[in-house]
Structure 1
Amino acid sequence: MELLGIHHVSAMTKHAQQNVDFYTELLGMRLVKKTVNQDDPSMYHLFYGDEVGNPGTELTFFEMTQIGQNHDGNNSISTTSLRVPNNEALQYWEKRLTEAGVEHEGIVEQFGRKVLPFRDFENQRLTLVSDENNQGVLAGSPWEKSKANPKHGIIGLGPIHLTVPNLDRTEPILTKLLSFSRSGTYTHHQTEKEVVVFETGEGGTGAELHVHERPDVLAERLGRGGVHHVAFRVKDEEEMHQWIDRLNKAKIGNSGFVDRFYFKSVYFREPNGILFELATDGPGFTTDEGEATLGESLALPPFLEEKREQIERQLSSIEY
């Protein structure tokens, strides 16, 4: 069994409308699914991605209107990367972010790639990463109706950064349980600390975890602008059950099989407390909506459909 790469990342926001404005208007991502948190239908769950929300392109947000600000720190998913086609695209984005007044660090190099670190309106840590020399997992397809220039558009998730106090606790989970392999190290441009890179599947930009070992910082306090979990791609439901068997045999506490309608999942925490999810590539977001109208109306899985009226009353309207 082999994980195919990053599936999605789920983060926290306090303001669904501002979130939609930032990620669709400025970043030009497509809102491919407007739905609710299936465990708490009183809150939105918004999915952004490429033109159809292919696995490996999905950045999602839970709206929690009473949530406090995230306090960055250890035991965390500390940065989410977003892939763009090439180095030229980074120059486009540097200019676009500057003109929009978005805080960024300029174009720097990270593990042999050009990257552009920046933050969103809630201080979410993001990095645009060039796919110019990518030899691994293929990216998604740019959205032709993007508010940003599709030529330079965001085409998927790149390396996900973890910050942990003790790499020795996390590494065996990645390598022995999940079959990631070490592919190198680099020195972080800000902290000057070593970052260890792990990859899975075909490797490359869409299949890496960058792990920062930082015993010198306090634990994160999760809030808006923070990341709830990262999910890794599993081929299909049959293989998902094999992964659950592997987790159980290793005595790793987990959620068991969870049907999210758009994909099937299992959740568990690695020893430093970071929440991981394994998620199948299918059936996908066109299961209940046509490709042309993805994200335009509130989509609910069948088991919540009978509560639609009640759920819609609890949600604010979103314009886009």
Structure 2
Amino acid sequence: MTRILVTGGSGFVGSRLVEQFSQREDLDVAALVRTAPGKRVDRVKYYDFSDFSEIGADHVSLANVDVFIHLASRVHVMNDTAVDPLAAFREINVGHTLRLADSAAAAGVKRFVFVSSVKVNGEGTVEGCPYKETDAPNPSDFYGISKREAEDGLRSIAAETGMEVVIIRPVLVYGPGVKANFESMMKWLQKGVPLPLGAIHNRRSLVGLDNLVDMIRICVSHPAAANETFLVSDGEDVSTTQLLRKLGNSLNKPARLIAVPEWLLVTGASLLGKRSFSQRLCGSLQVDITKARTLLGWQPVLSLDQALRTTAEHFMSEQNK
């Protein structure tokens, strides 16, 4: 029996992960949560995680833990109101992460799986030149900087203590229950709003929720994952235009797209102070998942179309409640 402890167990990724892991007879799953989960999963033990700094090597939730999966973080936010945003990101994403890892190592945890971000690599790629794990990190925002610093600290702890560390860098995660911009896109499509996004020829990597959870599953126990870093995606890249069309089809609401030239969209967004938003819509960000496929034998469990369909079906069921 492998004992798993998950931080962020009530979050978007964490709730799905503990649900799926709880179905395996060979795993004993516990979750540290700061917010009470909407639905508690049978066979999962939940612990209050209101203060990251309180956990120690003698904490009940670390007793006999084999693998620690760290999902909780201060996420990238728009219009951050923190007085010192970088310090706020560092406090949670670096300081608390490394304190948890130190406690885990002291308690004898064998492996620490850290879900980082592609933002450690950077904000965009040249089409046809995807990010690889061997590329030099190039984070440009505070969130990405904090994740990179956490990764560096974890590697040092691994070298000093012998605890295995696995780092996973996902791209944009979507799936049933997704919020933020992805949910907004589905709302626009469902309402039949005409969108000026019919002539975008970028390439974006995405990762479906179940694909990310399966990648974490592999990294929990695969011997070759120890002290390695992996990029993860669905393995299928799409343009923003293609994504909207596929998502519209999944919603049974064909996308109403207007072919506005990219340069005009980018110029307009820059004049409105929305350059970063135009980058996400029009820029490319691709990752190469060859390492995960070859070293771990991992393949996405769902295709892009399948993952979009499950996302859309959940969205429609929630809208109909």
Fold in common (TM above 0.5): no
Larger radius of gyration: 2
Greater share of helix: 2
Greater share of strand: 1
Higher relative contact order (CA 8 A, sep 6+): 1
**TM-score of the superposition, structure 2-length normalised?**
0.29
